[in-house]
Structure 1
């Protein structure tokens, strides 16, 4: 056996030694990469699987605890209502009365005590019924609150409450119990699942005078258990102290897998004895997670049944993705390795032949180096290669120096923005020395505009920066006009940090300045540009309105066509198509296209106008707050 193994190893070693260097390198790379890749993939899959399971458990546990808190609130509300009825002395007196009350007593009882019961239900709208049952056969019934207990004395829940002898409350879950009004008035009605809390009125102790009952529909007591929203991933169940299950009937896991109900009952029984709970359950190839939360106040439990079908599908998809990525990665590495090795070895052979030619052309003859293969040949010609490398390096350094020199000449030929700023500052100081405040202020505004234009570090700026730029622009423009333009800002300070595209508002204001009041024979002294901002459903709406001459309906339609028109072949940058039609509205169209490019097609510009009165441009964009210096 050992000799056979040795022979096989010798054969393999001989075969491997005859493979080319390229083949051996590819095999080595695959072997080196395959092992760690499989280990990492296996570990990643396990972690992803555990993460999916943990997230599913945490999510459903959180929802279960939230529902438990809701149930506890409803329990407190029902017990409070029961206690108020139980402690009412006038109620007890009425329940033990043997004689028919007079009309005055009935009116007094109805306007005080009976009204208080109505108020209890009014203050707790989730409470379905508040019943008082009297042991006296002669009591005068006041529907829908006061009844003789003979109407319900044979009900199992009534008998259970009687056995407690008023020592504590009895909580009873019922599937088909209907309203007493419908039961005894002859009306038809289907029973709705509900929960009731009952307590015997026995004052003094041992003297039974009646019973108090407070009802609430289970759809209000635990909404997620009877939710109408169809959820294919989870279902919530409430289980009473007798291990009876209450939940929705449509789209129910309990109907699909009949053994699920028995499994829940069995595990709850074990939990109540030992405190141990088992989550995993499988039936008919379906996997479930069973998560429970006890409701000790009523000896019940909330159980969430989580279907693992979707989760396992996600895990399977992830596993297939990992396998696919590994296979693709190995193929990619193999291909890259093959190409690179082929290229490297090919270049080595080509370099060897080239160096041989150079060596043969040199006057000092050849150099013999012992050794074989590509490495030996490379060592044999190493000295010649160094001479060539030194020459190439010298040439590269010389070329780099020429390139740097040309770059420096180019930089010297460019306009220095700082030179312009300093020049404006010098002129501004001269104007202040000459007491030319108007010129000084205009230069300050112009400098601010230049800095804003030159400092283009990103597409987004704060709204306050864009508004400051518009103010500077208006001040500079007012130097040109006899009648100045007034800029009115109606923007809450909280919105000044909102993100806007740089130079998105200024072109609209510039459009108003150039065209709003430009008409022969028309003079408008009060020239006003208003900027207003509002917010709705997470979006920002900015309105830029002027009191200019406005647009006719025909011109407004043409302007809309120009703004919303798509780029057409044959149209140049000036907005004039090949047919000679001047589109107009180039600045507005550019702003509209930038808004849609950066924010999406749901945003952009809309122009409205009334001829002879006003023009308004509405801009919509998402609400985004900038933090830091021009950072999103």
Structure 2
């Protein structure tokens, strides 16, 4: 096995070794992008799946709690019916009598207390039966409320009723037989019900028991509703683990295998004490959520199919995978094009070397850029130059001409070469222990990167502030009294969106015009950012300089509000334009965010100048405080 792996690795290495450098770089970039993409995608898949299932669990628990409230209301109604019945002393006297009553007294009881007992059931139509079973053979049964205990003594729960010492007994049954026709099959008895049974005592002994029954379709209407839901079904489980449900519902009622699995999972839920269980039946995922109904010793269950959840997760996974492949494909194309541009000079150098080997005399390689390719090109051109000098003076002149052209092209330094050069100078400064020069070069490099990297109009406040810090650090090289930058930014505001280069012109204006060199004390520029009550962000930039004369300040603010660019005040010297930078910032803010936003300048001569910027609160990465779809934003 190990030999096969080594063989395949060697074959792949040999195949890659024969590819061009551009192909190998593109393959390396794809692998570098693919591995993190797979890791992040798997993490996102797990998060999406857990989120969907969590939402399904919460929704199931919410429905159960609503149904539990209905059940508690029915429980209270049944308990109230019991209390009202046993509170009637005439009924208890009749049940405990030692002699048969005459017909007149029976008629009187029937018209009085027994009618009240029937009215208790009539007033609560959800109660199916209200019956009092007497342990007294001397009384007469009065249908449908007074019966002899012999009618229910064969019930399995009857023998243990005395051991409960007067406590309520709640029973769930899947049938509702007619007690008056127990030997007659009734098609309507296939209705599950719940019974409340309680012993009745008088004179220190049990004289009978009272039973209140309610059909489960009234006791738990959502579990036994007539509305068919193909994705979920609610059911009731008693203390013994028996499950009662609407058999007409096809979700569980028509699926015996699912019903058996629910019974097993419910038993496991009770054993572990968990409110939910996930399981599968015939490779179909399901979720079982339960909540106890302590008053009756039962549980309310909700079985939910996770097919729809898995379908949504699968759809999200496909979209993420498609987006990844699209992104990787796009980046691969861009990488291929960039590599073609970067390696173009290398291919040209290779072609030139092949021509020299064939005896041809190339005219030189006008290659730009630094690094190894530039160095190789330089030495190759020097070699060609030396060879051509030995051949003829004319060839030498031509080579010198090409070399001059090459030096001209080398002067066109791109930004990356300039960054590298600044880094080299910075390293030299650090080697000479010139920390001030090194820090200044770092700040200058940061400014240049920020200026050259214009990938969009919007940046975070954090990036703009960092650029201002670099700018102030570079400017402080010029001053004997450095400028102190103070920041007071509200919590969570570093990630808000601002327009790129919207704060730096204001700071630059302060650096150039705020101090005339005669001031005493520390020079300070303070930047405050805070959230206004109307979901706006207010950024204040304040210096402690000489300020602006009142009339000039009024003209400056008025000029920023005009639409025409020609209204900006011109200095008499003609060497400087006053207010252009501030007006550009104001107009850009209004262009991108709308007229309610912009810039206002305040000042007091001899004390301060303050520029106040108003922006909508928008987070750079798409989140916001309600303004992510601001109607005024361009």
Normalised to the residue count of structure 2, the TM-score between the two structures is: 0.51
What is the CA-CA distance between 1:166 and the residue it aligns to?
5.7
Q: 5 Å matches for 1:55-74?
A: 55-74=55-74
Which of residues 232, 235, 245 in structure 2 aligns to 1:234? Answer: 232
What is the CA-CA distance between 1:349 and the residue it aligns to?
9.1
SS of the aligned residue for 2:191 comes to: coil
- Which residue in the other structure is 2:200 paired with? 201
Distance in 1, matches of 2:228 and 2:316, equals 26
Q: 5 Å matches for 1:539-558?
A: none
Distance 1:172 1:26, change over 3 A: same
Distance in 2, matches of 1:198 and 1:631, equals 69
Distance in 1, matches of 2:164 and 2:4, equals 92
What is the CA-CA distance between 1:246 and the residue it aligns to?
0.4
SS of the aligned residue for 2:100 comes to: coil
SS of the aligned residue for 2:222 comes to: helix
SS of the aligned residue for 1:177 comes to: coil
Q: 5 Å matches for 1:113-262?
A: 113-121=113-121, 124-137=124-137, 139-150=139-150, 152-156=151-155, 159-160=158-159, 162-164=161-163, 167-180=166-179, 189-206=188-205, 208-255=206-253, 257-262=255-260
What is the CA-CA distance between 1:371 and the residue it aligns to?
9.3
Distance in 2, matches of 1:209 and 1:410, equals 98
SS of the aligned residue for 2:131 comes to: strand
- Which residue in the other structure is 1:54 paired with? 54
Which of residues 533, 548, 564 in structure 2 aligns to 1:411? Answer: 564
- Asked if 1 retains the 8 angstrom alpha-carbon contact of 2:128 and 2:214, the reply is yes
Q: Which consecutive residues of structure 1, in runs of 5 or more, have no partner in the other structure?
A: 354-364, 391-406, 415-456, 461-624
* 1:351-403 per-position Cα deviation (integer Å, ceiling 9, x unaligned): xx9xxxxxxxxxxx99999998567559976641376799xxxxxxxxxxxxx
* 1:309-359 per-position Cα deviation (integer Å, ceiling 9, x unaligned): 222222333333333322222222222323444466669999xx9xxxxxx
SS of the aligned residue for 1:37 comes to: helix
What is the CA-CA distance between 1:270 and the residue it aligns to?
5.6
- Which residue in the other structure is 1:614 paired with? none
Q: 5 Å matches for 1:87-98?
A: 87-97=87-97, 98=99
Distance in 2, matches of 1:187 and 1:10, equals 82
What is the CA-CA distance between 1:30 and the residue it aligns to?
1.2
Distance 1:126 1:377, change over 3 A: farther
What is the CA-CA distance between 1:65 and the residue it aligns to?
3.0
Distance in 1, matches of 2:126 and 2:185, equals 25
- Asked if 1 retains the 8 angstrom alpha-carbon contact of 2:132 and 2:147, the reply is yes
- Which residue in the other structure is 1:453 paired with? none
- Asked if 2 retains the 8 angstrom alpha-carbon contact of 1:202 and 1:210, the reply is yes
Which of residues 404, 408, 414 in structure 2 aligns to 1:384? Answer: 408
Cα-Cα RMSD: 5.2
Which of residues 307, 310, 314 in structure 1 aligns to 2:308? Answer: 310
* 1:181-231 per-position Cα deviation (integer Å, ceiling 9, x unaligned): 78799987444211010122232333x433211111101212222122222
Distance in 2, matches of 1:408 and 1:273, equals 74
* 1:48-70 per-position Cα deviation (integer Å, ceiling 9, x unaligned): 22222222222222322332333
- Which residue in the other structure is 1:494 paired with? none
- Asked if 2 retains the 8 angstrom alpha-carbon contact of 1:239 and 1:301, the reply is yes
- Which residue in the other structure is 2:81 paired with? 81
- Asked if 1 retains the 8 angstrom alpha-carbon contact of 2:269 and 2:277, the reply is no
What is the CA-CA distance between 1:459 and the residue it aligns to?
12
* 1:90-114 per-position Cα deviation (integer Å, ceiling 9, x unaligned): 2111223443455477346534x34
* 1:106-155 per-position Cα deviation (integer Å, ceiling 9, x unaligned): 346534x34543553355443222222334445454443334444x3355
Distance in 2, matches of 1:284 and 1:147, equals 50
Normalised to the residue count of structure 1, the TM-score between the two structures is: 0.51
The number of residue pairs the alignment matches comes to 400
- Asked if 1 retains the 8 angstrom alpha-carbon contact of 2:345 and 2:367, the reply is no
SS of the aligned residue for 1:302 comes to: strand
- Asked if 2 retains the 8 angstrom alpha-carbon contact of 1:161 and 1:198, the reply is no
Q: 5 Å matches for 1:201-600?
A: 201-206=200-205, 208-255=206-253, 257-269=255-267, 275=273, 279-342=277-340, 373=373, 377=377, 383-385=407-409, 411=564
- Asked if 2 retains the 8 angstrom alpha-carbon contact of 1:200 and 1:212, the reply is yes
SS of the aligned residue for 1:167 comes to: coil
- Which residue in the other structure is 2:42 paired with? 42
What is the CA-CA distance between 1:235 and the residue it aligns to?
1.9
SS of the aligned residue for 2:292 comes to: strand
Distance in 2, matches of 1:4 and 1:96, equals 94
- Asked if 2 retains the 8 angstrom alpha-carbon contact of 1:133 and 1:212, the reply is yes
Distance in 2, matches of 1:83 and 1:281, equals 44
Distance in 2, matches of 1:368 and 1:321, equals 44
What is the CA-CA distance between 1:169 and the residue it aligns to?
1.7
- Which residue in the other structure is 1:106 paired with? 107
Distance in 1, matches of 2:117 and 2:342, equals 94
